């Protein structure tokens, strides 16, 4: 496989740090540029991050003395890389302008930000679920007037457990409606207990914008490619309630679901056990071998025990049982900064590389 030079825009943040740790020993991707705000620009990566380093692994030696670039110096950053990952804390219109500027500088952008998720010709991809949405990239390039440059995004971290759980059941049984309550870790807000002490021993029943994303983004993932854009699906109806809980990493979801044709418990478990997508078929380096793991134990999955399954890239499921109002209920768990953020971004980039979009 060809190797690529990679930049991380927002490298000093929570998701940026995850990208740094995931890419330190990546077989295809090598970090050649780290960029952040003007506050960090000109400092070494070690100094710019300082006490904000939030990973359990040590900061890789290879990045410590790299000088952080100003992310707004788009041409300079773009000249050092074959594509960038982008995860920045900025206003939505500023992020759209920044990502658009990189794409127009012929530098593909793999984004963790929400700003472009509903741009109709920007693919929002979970590689196991909707890899075919990459087919809109030629139309996006035509709109941008680029040969290489484009933007591809990954979806929100909250839905990375229940959408993969529902997806293998859609074709045969048709999901009619779904109610989901999420229990989301503090790293999802870019925080640790040190930087957000109010979260210790606490639960906050509000995460700005999260319920809308949790209800709407699945419909784009299940949408169709038509005339160079993605047309979102009109069903299933999803209602979500999203809570912030006192966990460092890992988003749990409690799911209630009804089907058009009701499957048995055994049929659901069989669909989950046998499900694989292009990420597994192409043997992408970050793909979990078994995407969906079902735990038979009544008290699993647990956030602390199970979030790191298959390097934090697999989904853990459990407690599937009949329900009195919906057909079934179950719980599911995914690691929010691995599968839900940087790991999902790296897997998407691997899919793009394997399909030749960076060449
Ligand atoms: N945390 C998660 O689990 C998660 C999951 C999915 C998606 N996301 C998304 O990923 C993005 C980043 O989240 P995060 O949690 O990593 O945030 P964060 O820890 O607050 O990091 C923000 C990053 O953005 C940079 N930045 C801020 N203002 C900038 C500017 N004007 N120009 C260039 N860079 C600027 C910061 O650089 P300085 O250090 O120089 O200030 C830092 O590198 C957000 O869009 C978030 O919604 C996060």
Three-state SS at 230: strand
In short, whether 37's Cβ falls inside 6 Å of ligand 1 is yes
CA distance 307 to 27: 24
In short, whether 89's Cβ falls inside 6 Å of ligand 1 is yes
Peptide bond before residue 61 is cis, with ω within 30 degrees of 0: no
The domains of the chain are located at 4-156+341-354, 159-335
From ligand 1's centre to the CA of 252, what distance in Å? Answer: 22
From ligand 1's centre to the CA of 46, what distance in Å? Answer: 17
From ligand 1's centre to the CA of 264, what distance in Å? Answer: 43
Please determine whether the domains at 4-156+341-354 and 159-335 fall in the same fold group of CATH. Answer: no
CA distance 129 to 355: 16
Q: Is 133 a catalytic residue?
A: no
In short, whether 88's Cβ falls inside 6 Å of ligand 1 is yes
* Contact call for residues 325 and 253 (beta carbons, < 8 A): no
Q: What pTM value is reported for the model?
A: 0.97
Side-chain-facing half-sphere of 252: CA atoms under 13 Å? 19
Largest CA distance in the chain: 60
What is the best residue among 8, 9, 36 to mutate for testing ligand 1's pocket, by most ligand atoms within 8 Å of CB? 36
* Contact call for residues 99 and 111 (beta carbons, < 8 A): yes
> What tokens does 179 get?
């109610």
Q: Judge residue 280's burial from the number of C-beta atoms within 10 Å of its C-beta, 0-12 exposed, 13-18 middle, 19 or more buried.
A: middle
Q: Judge residue 86's burial from the number of C-beta atoms within 10 Å of its C-beta, 0-12 exposed, 13-18 middle, 19 or more buried.
A: buried
In short, whether 253's Cβ falls inside 6 Å of ligand 1 is no
CA-proximal residue: ligand 1, atom 19 (nearest): 13
What is the best residue among 7, 8, 14, 44 to mutate for testing ligand 1's pocket, by most ligand atoms within 8 Å of CB? 14
In short, whether 136's Cβ falls inside 6 Å of ligand 1 is no
Q: Is 251 a catalytic residue?
A: yes
Residue length of the chain:
359
Query: What CATH number labels 4-156+341-354?
Result: 3.40.50.720
CA-proximal residue: ligand 1, atom 30 (nearest): 37
Q: Does domain 159-335 correspond to CATH entry 3.40.1190.20?
A: no
Digitized pLDDT (tens) for each residue of the chain, 359 residues in all? 899 999 999 999 999 999 999 999 999 999 999 999 999 999 999 999 999 999 999 999 999 999 999 999 999 999 999 999 999 999 999 999 999 999 999 999 999 999 999 999 999 999 999 999 999 999 999 999 999 999 999 999 999 999 999 999 999 999 999 999 999 999 999 999 999 999 999 999 999 999 999 999 999 999 999 999 999 999 999 999 999 999 999 999 999 999 999 999 999 999 999 999 999 999 999 999 999 999 999 999 999 999 999 999 999 999 999 999 999 999 999 999 999 999 999 999 999 999 999 99
- Please provide the DSSP assignment of 154-169 as one string: ---GGGTTHHHHHHHH
In short, whether 15's Cβ falls inside 6 Å of ligand 1 is yes
CA-proximal residue: ligand 1, atom 39 (nearest): 12
In short, whether 111's Cβ falls inside 6 Å of ligand 1 is no
With a CB cutoff of 8 Å and minimum separation 6, the contacts of 94 are none
Q: Which of 133, 167, 251, 293 is catalytic?
A: 251
User: Which atom from ligand 1 is nearest to the alpha carbon of 48?
Assistant: 39
> What tokens does 350 get?
């691997």
> What tokens does 329 get?
């209920």
In short, whether 184's Cβ falls inside 6 Å of ligand 1 is no
């Amino acid at each position: 496989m060809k190797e690529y030079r990679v930049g991380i825009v927002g490298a000093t943040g929570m998701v940026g740090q995850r990208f740094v740790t995931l890419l330190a020993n990546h077989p295809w991707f090598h970090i050649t540029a780290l960029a952040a705000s003007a506050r960090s620009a000109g400092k070494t990566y070690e100094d710019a991050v300082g006490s904000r380093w939030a990973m359990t692994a040590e900061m890789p030696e290879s990045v410590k003395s790299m000088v952080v670039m100003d992310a707004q110096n788009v041409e300079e950053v773009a000249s050092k890389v074959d594509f960038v990952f982008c995860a920045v804390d900025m206003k939505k219109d500023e992020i759209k302008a920044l990502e658009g500027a990189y794409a127009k500088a012929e530098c593909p952008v793999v984004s963790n930000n929400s700003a472009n998720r509903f741009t109709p010709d920007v693919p929002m991809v979970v590689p196991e679920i909707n890899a075919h949405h990459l087919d809109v990239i030629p139309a996006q390039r035509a709109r941008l007037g680029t040969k290489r440059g484009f933007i591809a995004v990954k979806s929100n971290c909250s839905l990375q457990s229940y959408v993969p759980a529902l997806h293998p059941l859609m074709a045969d049984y048709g999901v009619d409606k779904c109610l989901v309550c999420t229990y989301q870790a503090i790293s999802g807000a870019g925080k640790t207990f040190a930087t957000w002490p109010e979260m210790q021993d606490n639960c906050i029943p509000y995460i700005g914008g999260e319920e809308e994303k949790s209800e709407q983004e699945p419909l784009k993932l299940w949408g169709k490619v038509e005339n160079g854009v993605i047309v979102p699906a009109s069903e299933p109806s999803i209602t979500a309630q999203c809570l912030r809980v006192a966990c460092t990493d890992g988003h749990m979801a409690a799911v209630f679901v009804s089907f058009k044709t009701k499957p048995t418990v055994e049929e659901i478990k069989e669909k989950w056990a046998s499900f694989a997508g292009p990420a597994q078929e192409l043997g992408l380096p970050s793909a979990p071998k078994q995407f969906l793991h079902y735990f038979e134990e009544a008290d699993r999955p647990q956030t602390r025990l199970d979030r790191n399954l298959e390097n934090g890239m697999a989904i853990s499921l459990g407690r599937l049982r009949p329900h009195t109002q919906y057909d079934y209920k179950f719980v599911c768990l995914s690691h929010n900064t691995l599968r839900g953020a940087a790991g999902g971004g790296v897997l998407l980039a691997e899919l793009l590389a394997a399909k030749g979009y960076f060449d």
